[in-house]
Amino acid sequence: MLDEHTRTAILKLHEAGHGKRAIARALKLSRAAVRKVIASDSYKVSALDRAEKAESHHDEILELFVSCKGNLVRVHEELLAKGAELSYQGLTAYCRRHGIGHESRKPVGQYKFKLAEEMQHDTSPHPAHIAGREQKVQIAGLALGYSRLSYIQLYPRFTRFECKLFLDDAIDYVGGVCDFCMIDNTSVVVLHGTGVDMVPVPEMVSFGKQRGFAFRAHEKGDANRSAIVEGLFNYVQGNFLAGRKFRDFEDANRQAVDWCDKINAAFSRKLHGSRRELFVKEQAQLTPLPLWRSPVYRLQHRQVDFESYVSVHAVRYEVPSEHIGRRIEVRETKRELLFFRGPRLIATHTRQTEGRRRVLLPETQREDRNRRQRERMACEEKQLRSEWPDFSDYIGELRRRAPRGQSIACLRRLRRMTRDYPRAPLEKALGDAAHYGLHDLDRVERMVLKNVQGDFFPRFGLDDYDNDEG
């Protein structure tokens, strides 16, 4: 079918006195087609006027659409059962054209942002190659509405704690805040409600108020409202994550900041400049950061176990041994864990997200711990030497030959043996051990048990049993 432009050309050439054969040769058309256009004397394309197969079943389709709960596959099956000759594709096309189960598309609008009016924050899960394996991570992003200045970070999970950490880092990167932070209806910020009726969690309200901005949420399903940060995630997936491998999350986030610096300085044809150039205009209108902000930390309470460790997220952190059995307060920041006993700080450790499962105290505190261990070991050895002066050399050699870190345990086990077993069998076993140079307490204890056979549970003869029964 010829379009309007071609039909107009045919009519104009005909009016100029050119024949049908010349017009067909010039426009490379058939003479029959030229003849039909001249006969119609209209440049408009005639509409196709033909009946649709599904039109005769219009009322049935409406009834079945309701009874089948909008499932067009079931609607088609029911129509075929009633004798209708209609393909499934023809049914769906008819429903689209007549708005049955399909809302007509509406053109999207444009959002105009004033200087320092709004920043958009959202998260999106993406696969990333971290620590030698591919894993799903949460990418958090923040973008300014006017200048599109962007900032991203990667997290293994994204809770309210990570949200506050990210926003703190993001506003530090920007150097200020906009009046509002637009979010989707995420549970880490929203207490209840959606859109304009959204009520943030009081904790997040306080967090934003102290930094000079307020949270707003777009209407449910209106993803276009935060299209700036949504478009950033597509760029991250297609550019930043493509072909990159990271040692750990710290390395990934460090490279993410470098990548943000690069894209913010790059020229954008859509913006007719770079994000940094637009940000120069916006920067002066941003709300400056306060002189002091309350640090972001997650508060937890733990009890110190008998090994002087505190477990936080499956990682055991050592604290001073004088707090064994006591309940302490743990403040988890971005990089550190602070351990408090009441108002006093008793230990500080670097926060571990992966790798080591046991973290010891710093060397300065470990020296005090080692000194106390040496004092306890000297006390144990002194008591043993005073009780068993004949085996003083053996006790000293036992302490010296003990595995590293188990000297006190060996001395305490020997003291336990002196309390549990008679003196004579133990003295004989220790004498043999000292003579043959045996310092394995398992073997020494077996020698003692061999020496005490029959002492604790003497064998009774038959006469003794008879006497007892009589």
Q: How does DSSP assign 49-85, residue by residue? A: ----GGGGGHHHHHHHHHHTTT-HHHHHHHHHHTT--
Answer yes or no: are the C-beta atoms of 87 and 75 closer than 8 Å.
no
Between β-strands 273-274 and 267-268, what pairing exists: parallel, antiparallel or unpaired? antiparallel
* pLDDT of amino acid 454: 62
Task: Supply the mean pLDDT for the chain.
Answer: 87
- How far apart, in whole angstroms, are the C-alpha atoms of residue 150 and residue 121? 10
Strand locations in 248-325 (E): 267-268, 273-274, 298-303, 309-312, 315-318
How sure is the predictor about 385, in pLDDT bands with cuts at 50, 70 and 90? confident
| DSSP tag of 117 | S
**Above 50 in pLDDT, residue 468?**
no
State the Cα–Cα distance between residues 14 and 20, nearest whole angstrom: 7
- Residue 54 gets the label, from left (phi > 0), alpha (psi -120 to 50) or beta, of alpha
3-class secondary structure, 136: strand
Q: What is the pLDDT of residue 464?
A: 46
- Fold classification of 4-40 is Arc Repressor Mutant, subunit A (1.10.10)
89-100 confidence digits (pLDDT tens): 989 998 988 888
Domain ranges of the chain: 4-40, 54-97, 118-283, 298-361, 389-451
Q: Is the pLDDT of residue 88 over 80?
A: yes
Please, are residues 319 and 304 in contact by the beta-carbon 8 Å criterion? Answer: yes
DSSP labels, 410-432: HHHHHHHHHHHS-HHHHHHHHHH
The pLDDT value recorded for residue 441 is 87
Confidence of residue 469 (pLDDT cuts 50, 70, 90): very low
Which of 124-133, 252-261, 358-367 comes out lowest in average pLDDT? 358-367
Collapse the DSSP code of 358 into the 3-class scheme (helix H, G, I; strand E, B; otherwise coil) and give the result: strand
pTM above 0.75, yes or no: no
CA distance to 58, 224, 323, per residue, from 219 (Å): 35, 10, 51
Average pLDDT over residues 170-197: 93
Q: Are domains 4-40 and 118-283 of this chain identical in fold?
A: no
Phi and psi at 307, nearest 5°, equal: -100, 5
Question: Count of residues for the chain?
Answer: 470
Tell me the C-alpha distance between 366 and 374, whole Å. 12
Express each pLDDT in 263-322 by its tens digit: 999 999 989 999 999 999 999 999 999 999 989 999 999 999 988 899 998 899 999 888
- Rounded distance, CA 316 to CA 352, Å? 10
Find the helix packing angle between 407-420 and 363-387, rounded to 10°: 30
Structure tokens at 298: 């997650």
Residue with tokens 């068993």: 388
What is the CATH code of the structural domain delimited by 118-283?
A: 3.30.420.10
